Amino acid sequence: MTESTVILVFAAALATALANGLGALPLVATRLSSERGLAIGNAIAAGLMLAACFVLIVEGYEFSAGRTLAGLLAGVAAIVAADRFIKRRGSPSIADIRGADARSIVLIVGIMAAHSAAEGIGIGVAFAGGEPLGQFITLTIALHNVAQGLAICLVMVPRGASIPSAAGWAVASGLPQPLLAVPAFLFVLTFEPWLPFGLGLAAGAMIWVIVAEIMPGALAGETPQRVGAIVTVAFTAMLAVILLF
């Protein structure tokens, strides 16, 4: 293990975090300011996030089914507790957005950060198994993170955030990756047992937000049939990016 390898792990994980910001690019030429646009954005985000949940659970099962299931339950408990805490604190503000919309965004960005933390550990563990494996996992997560960043932007921009601000928050949600990748690489035996729990936790929290926060917004401006079609197409596209590339 050399200093250059540690730097490579950090740089690879930082690159995956920055890839989140690329998710804002499709919104540059898209208008989602109308009620219908908000609904479509929510439906696409729900499909992308649902696919991410599926992949997280599958990855967790490869390490430990029991720890992944425990993480799922812990994720639901954590996000419900966070939601109640935010409500008791009053109306939050993020990217000049306040009220219920801001609360939803805070929850989503927080969940994506937890998701990124688990992925950061995954990058470090992968590099501990060899540089070729680490590079492959890094590329896969980077592609995944573009879609993850798009999901965040699709929630934020229609609610009034600027595209640069949404991109910035998308990148911020990925910063746990470089922060945790290096420790996971250096202390792989300590971090590896917690990886399936972290993957399950992120998935459990994300599923709750999809059902409780994002889908109601989608159904408020579009028919259930169209929302179902959009979610399915977005889910399939996300899986194609992750599994085929």
Cβ pair 100, 213 in contact under 8 A: no
H or E segment and range at residue 93: strand 93-94
More confident residue, 69 or 95: 69
Give residue 207's pLDDT band: very low, low, confident or very high (50, 70, 90): very high
Taking residues 94-103, report their average pLDDT. Answer: 71
More confident residue, 170 or 245: 170
Integer CA distances (angstroms), 156 to 73, 91, 193, 223, 234, in order: 27, 16, 34, 22, 18
Give the pLDDT of residue 29: 67
Cβ pair 121, 113 in contact under 8 A: no
Three-state secondary-structure class, residue 29 = coil
What is the tally of helices (H) and strands (E) in the chain? 12, 2
Single pTM value for the model = 0.81
More confident residue, 212 or 95: 212
